[in-house]
Amino acid sequence: MTIAARYADAALTLTTTNDIIAAQLAHRSVRKFLDTPVDDAQLQAIVAAAQSASTSSNLQPWSVIAVRDPERKARLAALANKQKFIDEAGLFLVWVADLGRARRIAEREGAPLDGADYLETTIIGFVDTALAAQNAVVAAESLGLGAVFVGALRNKPLEVADELGLPPHTIATFGLAVGVPDPTENAGIKPRLPQAAVLHHERYDAAAADTHIPGYDEALADYNRRYGLDGTWSGRVLTRLGSVASLHGREKLRDQLETRGLPSR
C-alpha cells in the first residue's frame, strides 16, 4: 500500500521490496512534535548512520551541531522564517558544510590547499552534507522519530554562523528538526512525480517525461485538498522559482559563501 500512496496510484505494487525500502517509501516530513526529548543514545545512532554515508574522496567535509537549548532553538527559528516546529522538536540538527577542518590541517602542516577555492570543492561540501543528513533521516525514522529539513537557515547564514560560533570556511547548509511525531498532525505521504517523469533509459527524453506532469498535477492537487491545502505541483514550482523575492535572501548566497571563506572560482 505504501508505494500506492507514494505515487497516488492504487493499482501500483512492488514486486521487489524489503523492510528498508518500505520504511523509505513511508517517509513524510513531520512538522508537529510531541514534547518528548531525543536522548543521547538516539543521537549517537543517528550521527553514526550519517557518517556511514558515501563521501567524495573520503574528505568528510561536514559537521553537525545538535541544538537542544530552548532559547537557542527559538533564536534559530526566528532566523529560519519563524517556523514553530523548530521550537517544538526535541532536537534540532544544523548540518554544516565544513571545509574549515581541511584548512586547519593545511595550516598545521604548512601545506597548500588551492583546490579548496573552487566551485567543485564547495559543491562537494554541500553534496556530502546532504548525503549524510538523508542517512540521518532514515535512521531517525527507523527509531520511531520524525524529521523535517529546514532550508530557511540559508535565509540568514551569517547570523546563523554567529549564533552557532561557526569557524571560518564553514556554512550552515540546512537544519533538521527531529522528534517524536504528534499523531494528531494532519498530514500524509505526499505523492511524488511518476517514475516515468524522472526515469530515463539510455538518453534523456524530455518530451516523453513531461507528458506525465499534468496527471501528477491532478494527483497532488487532490492530496492538497485532503489536507486543507491548495494548488498543483506546476504552480508550486512557478511560485517558488518565479521571482527573486521567493528566495527570501538566498539570492545573496554566493557573496555570503565568500564571506564565510568558501570561494567558488
pLDDT tens-digit profile of 119-140?
999 999 999 999 999 999 999 9
List Cβ neighbours of 209 (8 Å cut-off, separation of 6 or more).
196, 197, 198, 200
Q: What is the pLDDT of residue 84?
A: 94
The cell for 1 is 500500500
User: What digits encode the pLDDT tens for the residues 136-185?
Assistant: 999 999 999 999 999 999 999 999 999 999 999 999 999 999 999 999 99
Q: What is the pLDDT of residue 264?
A: 86
C-alpha Rg value of the chain to the nearest Å: 20
Whether the CA torsion 28, 29, 33, 39 is positive or negative: it is positive
List per-residue pLDDT tens for the chain, 265 residues long: 589 999 999 999 999 999 999 999 999 999 999 999 999 999 999 999 999 999 999 999 999 999 999 999 999 999 999 999 999 999 999 999 999 999 999 999 999 999 999 999 999 999 999 999 999 999 999 999 999 999 999 999 999 999 999 999 999 999 999 999 999 999 999 999 999 999 999 999 999 999 999 999 999 999 999 999 999 999 999 999 999 999 999 999 999 999 999 998 8
What's the one-letter identity of residue 67? V
SS3 234: helix
The cell for 172 is 550552515
The domain locations on the chain are 29-180+250-259
The cell for 68 is 537542544
Contacts 24+ apart (CB under 8 A), 217-220: 219/8, 219/191, 220/8, 220/190, 220/191
What's the one-letter identity of residue 146? G
> Residues in the chain, how many?
265
Checking phi first, is residue 169 left (phi over 0); if not, alpha (psi -120 to 50) or beta? left
Q: What is the pLDDT of residue 68?
A: 98
Q: What is the pLDDT of residue 1?
A: 58
Report the distance separating Cα 103 and Cα 25, nearest Å.
39
pTM above 0.85, yes or no: yes
Question: Which CATH number is 29-180+250-259 given?
Answer: 3.40.109.10
